[in-house]
Each structure stands twice: as structure tokens, then as C-alpha cells.
Amino acid sequence: MGARDKLLQTTLFDIHHAPEKGNNDLPSEDALKTAKVSLASHSADLCDVERTIKVLSIAVKALQGRACDLNEKITTCHQILSPIRRLPDDVFGEIFQHFAQIHGKDARSASFAPLVLSAVCRKWRIIASSIPQVWKVLNIHCIRYDHEGGYNLGPLTTEGVMTWLSRSTDHPFSLRISYERHSHPYLYAPDFTSIDEFRNGFKTLARLLAQHVHRWMSLSFLVPNLLVEDLIREVILQSNEKETAHAFSVLRKFQMHCTEFGSLDNVDQAYMPILSAPTLRNLALYGLESHLANVGWETLTRLSLHMCIHRHTVLNILRHCKVLEACAVHIVYIPAELPPPNIGSLYESHLTVDDPREVTLPNLTTLCIQGEIDDEANICGRLRAPALQHFLFYPTYRNQMVDYSTGWHLHFRYTSHPPLPPIKEIDVPRSASSPMCMFLSRCSALETLTINPAYLIGTDIIDMFQSCSAITKLVID
């Protein structure tokens, strides 16, 4: 029976048996005979259709496999024809150097590269491993806490640092040693039984790093003082007294975060050559007040002081910074009747003298002042910065201070501002002629002004705006 006959028979069957399909009545004899004949025919047709589906499925699967194979071959052809495959190795090296500055990694192991691209293929990894400039930043994130193992050097291994240092060859590199902040409060707790073992492990690392002190281009510490002391001691041990003064021969940047764990009194002789290195250009100190008298200010182009220092100390420091280009300072208001804190050699130096002369910074383009108030003794009244382009001012309304003689906590405020409940209060009358406004009016090149108006009264803000009406950008932070 042909397909046309089968279709006709099926149609006639549906028409003829339409009544039986719509109810549950007993079908007639003719209907039963026709149904039996149609059942056999339909069953045979179903087998043919299922057989055809299987055959077509096998054909589709084979075609899909063929299509995947062709796509792989086409991709390979595109890769071969890609321009990046024809780039010379030195061009790859230049790309990797820029990429490494953004995606630099910690020195975790000997096989951990400083950039993600080195994991793409063997050739790229060989290129990355052979370019010293790619390995010029060494970030050691050392102290980590493990609930099972306690405090340890984390993923850091001496082998990894050795590989890192060897791949940087003789090129200068930046060294940053830091720790996990949340582990800090418990690091040297009395029940910390593995401190000796931990420090011994770090001393091994410090001994290795000290061998390359002549290549330290940038140095940043964010670890407890005990670990800094261990590292500096290794530098001293590996250099005699004369060589220590020249050990930091390429150091251009130094950043130090002091912590309360440990004392640096035993390493003063080492910090003196660091802070007075003739190549030092960028200095950022978070604490370390007692070492300010040892700094070679004359060579600095960037300075950041985040510590509690007097106004006249700041002015004396700036007076020695002849080539300074960018500066950020945090000033603490301490009344004249209070004695200065005893923090060592600083208050035995020329930096504590109240010199009334003006301070001129001809190259200064960026200045940030935090914690200052606009009274008659404001440091801006003695500053001259003719090239200043960006000025940031974060005044303080309630700045907590300590009376070192009695232990009282002090606060100050403007007399024109509604008072807040103080512990002990000092009234600071507002100057009739604002030193801040006078300073801004002298900065003819000023382009950007950033202020925090939370602790400024309305007249102060208006006067500041009128004093620098030529600015092109105003930031309210």
C-alpha cells in the first residue's frame, strides 16, 4: 500500500469512526473490523518512522562531530594567522611589564608567576620568567592566621622568594612586607606559644632579603616592629659599619607603619642611613616620630607625615625641603602651655625651634593638610607656594589631645561654634584675618580645591571660595 493510500485510509478511518471516538458506546462490527486492520497498518508505519529517526539521529551526531572538528581546525588556523603570534619576544616583554604593574601577585611559591598571562602557555611563561623588570615588585604578605596551625608565614616560602630574586637578576626592586590586619591584636598575646618558632622562620627570610639590600629601590613595612627589627639586624650583620651607610644606595622610596609591638630603639643606627640616604625621594611615615631628626629632607620630592607633630616642627621640616613637589601632613594642635611629649631625639634637635621666618616651597604643586585649625598660628600663614595647583584641607573641630603632664584629654573648638560637651575645653578665637584665606589668595596657579566643610563655619567657607575664585575644580569631601 502506497503512502497516498495509507493517508486516505487513515482519513476515512477517522471520519468513519468519529462517533465511536467521542463516546464509550459499544462499537459496531464494521468499526471493530476496520480498527483491527488499521492497527496493524499503523503499527508498521510507527516502526518505519522510529527506524528513520534512529538513522537520522546517527547521521546528525556524526555531522555534529564533524562540525566540532572543523571548528577546531578553523580556530587553529586563526591562531596561526593571528598577529600576536608574530610579535617578537621583546614586544611581549614590554606588554608583560605594563601588565605586571596592575596584576602583580605575592611571592607564594617558586612556580607562582607575578602575572596571570604567564599561565597562558609555555612560551609566555618562559618570556615572563626571563624578563627581570616583570619581577621588580616583591610583595610579601607574611603573617596569616590558621585556626588549626596558628600564626605562620602563610603561603610564603623561602624557595619562592629565592626564585623571585633570581629572576629579577641585578635590577633594583620594590620590597613590601605586610600582614593580615585582623590577626594583629593577637599576634604576640601571652598564650602565643609559637612566637619563637615563627620569628626564627622570618629571620631566615630576613637573612635572604638582606643579601639584596643594595637593590632595594622602594621599601615598605606594615608589620610589627619586632619583625622590622629582625630584618634591620640582618642588614647590619651582613654589612660592617662603613658599608651600612652605603647599603641603601638605590633606595628612592621608604614607607613605614609603626605598630605597638616591639621597640626600634636597638636599630637606630640602621634607620639613620635609611632616612638619610642621598637617593631618597619619597618618604611616608606613619609614626616613627623620634627619627624625624635623622631624615635627609633636602632630597625629598614627596613627603607624607601621618603622626602627631607640632606646627613649628612641620614648618621646620618644610623649611629644609627645598625641592618638595607633593606633601601631606597631619598636624595636632597642642596649647603652648603644655610641655612637648618626650619622644626621644626629635625634641633635642633644631626641628623643635619656633622659627618665625616664612617657608617658601617653589616646586610644591600638591599640598594636603589634616587636623589643622584656621587660627592665627595656622602654618599656612607662613607658607609660600607659588606653583601650588592642588590643595586639600581637612580641618578638625574636636581633635583629641593628651596633656602629657596630667594625662587630661583635651578638646578645642571655635568660640563662634555651638559647643559640644568636652572633657576639658580650650577656646580658640577665630582670627580676624584668616591665614588660610591669605595663603589661598597668594596661590595664583591653584586649580583644584578639596575641603571637608563638616567642621567649618559658613563664613570660613565663603572666605575660602572668594580667596581662590580662579579654581577650575571644587571637591567637597
* Same domain? 306 vs 353: yes
Query: Alpha-carbon distance 241 to 180, whole Å?
Result: 34
On whether residue 423 sits in a domain, the answer given is no
Burial of 317 (0-12, 13-18, 19+ CB in 10 A): buried
Q: What percent of the chain has pLDDT over 90?
A: 13
On whether residue 330 sits in a domain, the answer given is yes
Question: 124, 87 in Cβ contact below 8 A?
Answer: no
Helices (H) and strands (E) in the chain, counts: 13, 17
pLDDT above 50 (res 410) = no
Tell me what pLDDT residue 408 has: 31
Domain containing residue 363 = 281-335+346-402+431-476
Question: 437, 463 in Cβ contact below 8 A?
Answer: yes
Closest CA to 174 of 223, 127, 212: 212
pLDDT above 70 (res 339) = no
pLDDT in tens, 15-24: 455 555 566 7
**The one-letter amino acid at 188:** Y
pLDDT in tens, 342-379: 444 444 455 666 777 889 999 999 999 887 777 777 88
pLDDT in tens, 451-474: 887 767 667 777 788 888 788 888
**What value does the mean pLDDT take over residues 75-81?**
86
Question: 122, 128 in Cβ contact below 8 A?
Answer: no
**Upper half-sphere CA count for residue 435 (Cβ side, 13 Å):** 17
* Same domain? 293 vs 436: yes
On whether residue 443 sits in a domain, the answer given is yes
Tell me what pLDDT residue 303 has: 92
Q: Provide the mean pLDDT of the chain.
A: 73
On whether residue 300 sits in a domain, the answer given is yes
How many structural domains compose the chain?
A: 3
Q: Characterize 234-248 residue by residue with b for buried, 16 or more Cβ atoms within 10 angstroms of its Cβ, and e for exposed.
A: bbbeebeeeebeebb
pLDDT above 60 (res 150) = no
* Same domain? 118 vs 140: no
* Same domain? 383 vs 246: no
* pLDDT band, very low/low/confident/very high, at 241 (cuts 50, 70, 90): low
* Same domain? 148 vs 106: no
Kindly report the number of other CB atoms within 10 A of residue 44's CB atom.
12
**What value does the mean pLDDT take over residues 202-220?**
87
* Same domain? 168 vs 92: no
**The one-letter amino acid at 239:** S
Tell me what pLDDT residue 182 has: 46
* Same domain? 326 vs 378: yes
C-alpha 433 chain-centroid distance: 41
* Same domain? 287 vs 211: no
Please tell me which of 254-268, 324-338, 427-441 the model is most confident about, judged by mean pLDDT: 324-338
C-alpha 206 chain-centroid distance: 23
**What value does the mean pLDDT take over residues 50-77?**
93
**What value does the mean pLDDT take over residues 238-267?**
69
Give the DSSP H or E segment for 426: strand 425-428
Q: What is the Rg, in whole angstroms, of the alpha carbon atoms belonging to the chain?
A: 38
Please tell me which of 19-33, 52-66, 278-292, 390-404 the model is most confident about, judged by mean pLDDT: 52-66
User: How many residues does this entry show for the chain?
Assistant: 477
User: Which set of grid coordinates corresponds to residue 165?
Assistant: 630574586
* pLDDT band, very low/low/confident/very high, at 327 (cuts 50, 70, 90): very high
